[in-house]
Amino acid sequence: MKKTALLIYDSFCNFEISVALEILALKNKEIVVFAKSKEAIKSEEGLKILAEKTIFDLDLNEYDSLLLPGAVDIESAVEDPQIIEFVKKFEDKVIGAISIAPILLVKAGLLRGKAFMAGVNKADLLEEGFLEEDLVQMQDWEACINNPEKEAFIVSGKIITSVAYNFVEFGLQFAKMLGLEISPKSFGK
């Protein structure tokens, strides 16, 4: 069975990917934690995590998926060309991005022309220099709050995006996209 790559970066949010990780573990699907370096990375919750591999140690043939957690501040990851190149390598794989993490996919050009949701407001991204044409089909934080998606996530091809408060549904759907079924009741749904 191929593995899932988990990319972590400063202030990543652990709870947003907790259900996805638990399902992968229950189904014995190997998860490999990647980061730009092997130095400890502190999560939003204060956990210090050491990556198993750096983004430069990727053998893409070993992986069928990428999981991207949100973060309190993802700007340094979004502005890092080496991280964006790592993300681009998963273009033909299943990708799960939650909260603000879909912005990594926007920056990598993987959401061009695709519907997605993200835990950030479109106006803020436009102010930071993102292009309107890249955000046309974006359901931003305000839209998610005021007019939530019935499914709690958006699937566009092999990419699933969602916002933080839908982390259970996001995790269940990410696993389903990998062919891993589990009862939603296991997670209170």
Nearest of 123, 118, 119, 128 to residue 159 by alpha carbon:
118
DSSP E strands: which ranges in the chain?
3-7, 31-35, 41-42, 48-49, 53-54, 63-68, 94-98, 116-117, 138-139, 154-156, 159-162
Per-residue pLDDT at 189 exceeds 80: no
Predicted structure pTM score: 0.96
What does the pLDDT read at residue 188? Answer: 86
pLDDT digits (tens, 9 = 90+) for 6-53: 999 999 999 999 999 999 999 999 999 999 999 999 999 999 999 999
Q: Are strands 3-7 and 31-35 parallel, antiparallel or unpaired?
A: parallel
Closest CA to 97 of 71, 129, 121: 71
Per-residue pLDDT reduced to its tens digit, 79-112: 999 999 999 999 999 999 999 999 999 999 999 9
